Amino acid sequence: MQETAERRRKIMKIMRRRRSETIQDLAFELGVSERTIRRNIEILSYKEPVYTQQGWYGGVYVQPNVYG
């Protein structure tokens, strides 16, 4: 459980800095599956300003006008 919480903190740290990232790159960087990243982003989106977008410009994004 602590490992999951730490991974979610790392995801948010990355997203605050980069503002957008692909599921694949997050999974590679954190050493987990893409499915794990998707689940983590889904949970984070209830409390944090992050969301996923599918398609040509798909990925994980921080909502506009948040974090500067």
Q: What is the pLDDT of residue 64?
A: 83
Provide the number of structural domains found in the chain: 1
Q: What is the pLDDT of residue 68?
A: 60
CA distances from residue 47 to 18, 25, 26, 35, 41 in whole angstroms, order as listed: 19, 22, 19, 20, 10
- For residue 47, the domain's CATH number is 1.10.10.10
Q: What is the pLDDT of residue 58?
A: 87
Q: Report yes or no on 68 lying in a domain.
A: no
Q: Report yes or no on 43 lying in a domain.
A: yes
pTM: 0.89
Q: What is the pLDDT of residue 26?
A: 97
Q: Report yes or no on 20 lying in a domain.
A: yes
Q: Give me the domain span that covers residue 50.
A: 2-62
Consecutive 10-residue averages of pLDDT for the chain (68 residues) = 92 95 97 97 96 91 79
